[in-house]
Structure 1
């Protein structure tokens, strides 16, 4: 299996951290690594639910499966939690374990998700709304209406009397 990391890059104002919800619905494109034209666009899956498998299935539990035309085996994608990502990245020197995008990452690329893939590659990520949780520098949590798909997000931290925002938001996938 090949490990892919989802990276985010943004300018943060009064934002301490940005995290993907564990139970979020995620949307992305995948492609067949053996073909430039076989693509599945805007695949949606829930990061907390694995697919039902037959009792004698050979594949480990996974979140997404498809069979490319002419292929005998299913291609699968598994979303890794922080512990699984740490184990998978153990031998990769200098690669940060995906967790949250923090204020120290502002303006730079930071990994927020790890997936293991067999027979497919993620190529694009599409925020769908309410798939992120944002914490302000003052400790306030923003859990609703966090829509990052437009390239920027802003709100107001009433408890700390300050604006919070993310701008110039970008996402990319890279093989680890």
Structure 2
């Protein structure tokens, strides 16, 4: 299986980890691999299980490009052993393989980090739910008596083969 892996980098201030909770909604920009068609701001959710036409399989997102004979599909793949993981305190300023997308007939080229992320303060003293990472985010951890923040979020996509 060929996966498109979303790598995320951010500068962290007193942050233990950043995660996308189960059933997270991903906002992606998609393109047709063999043409010029593009779709921006497409929401993909692990909560949706769609039947793939002519197959026994399912996907989290289906679409048909103009003139295409078959549906294109995307499936969110989490917890790929020894690859994808949450962003940890030691990852500040480094790209981390955050999540994978199994794609057929489409390719992700953009990601909007919007809201829905879970941020845990250093020392695991506080957990901040539904954090929007589209801009720099800062708050105060009263339990840990420390300021916390996620700054300069950047991303890139990489391709990897998984058995």
| TM-score (normalizing by structure 1) | 0.84
Equivalent residue, structure 1, for 2:117: 132
Specify every segment of 5 or more residues in structure 1 that has no aligned partner in the other structure, as ranges: 87-95
Preserved CA contact (<8 Å) 2:27 2:112: yes
Equivalent residue, structure 2, for 1:69: 66
| Aligned with residue 94 of structure 2, among 97, 102, 108 | 108
Aligned equivalents of 1:47, 1:171: Cα separation in 2: 20
Encode CA deviations 1:20-73: one digit per residue, 9 max, x unaligned: 1222221110001101x210111012223212x27x841521111111122111
Preserved CA contact (<8 Å) 1:28 1:43: yes
Equivalent residue, structure 2, for 1:42: 41
Equivalent residue, structure 1, for 2:143: 159
Preserved CA contact (<8 Å) 1:25 1:128: no
Equivalent residue, structure 2, for 1:5: 5
Deviation (angstroms), 1:128: 2.1
Encode CA deviations 1:64-112: one digit per residue, 9 max, x unaligned: 1111122111110000121xx23xxxxxxxxx51120111111010011
Aligned equivalents of 1:47, 1:156: Cα separation in 2: 31
Taking structure 1 as reference, are residues 127 and 59 closer, same or farther at Cα in structure 2, changes over 3 Å only? Answer: farther
Preserved CA contact (<8 Å) 2:48 2:61: no
Specify every segment of 5 or more residues in structure 2 that has no aligned partner in the other structure, as ranges: none
Encode CA deviations 1:98-145: one digit per residue, 9 max, x unaligned: 12011111101001111100111000001221x21011112111113x
Q: Hey, which bits of structure 1, 4+ residues long, moved more than 2 A?
A: none
RMSD between aligned residues? 1.6
Taking structure 1 as reference, are residues 143 and 20 closer, same or farther at Cα in structure 2, changes over 3 Å only? Answer: same
Aligned equivalents of 2:75, 2:56: Cα separation in 1: 11
The structure that is strand-richer by fraction is: 2
Aligned ranges 1:143-154 → 2 under 5 Å: 143-144=129-130, 146-150=131-135, 152-154=136-138
| Aligned with residue 79 of structure 1, among 63, 76, 82 | 76
Preserved CA contact (<8 Å) 2:2 2:102: yes
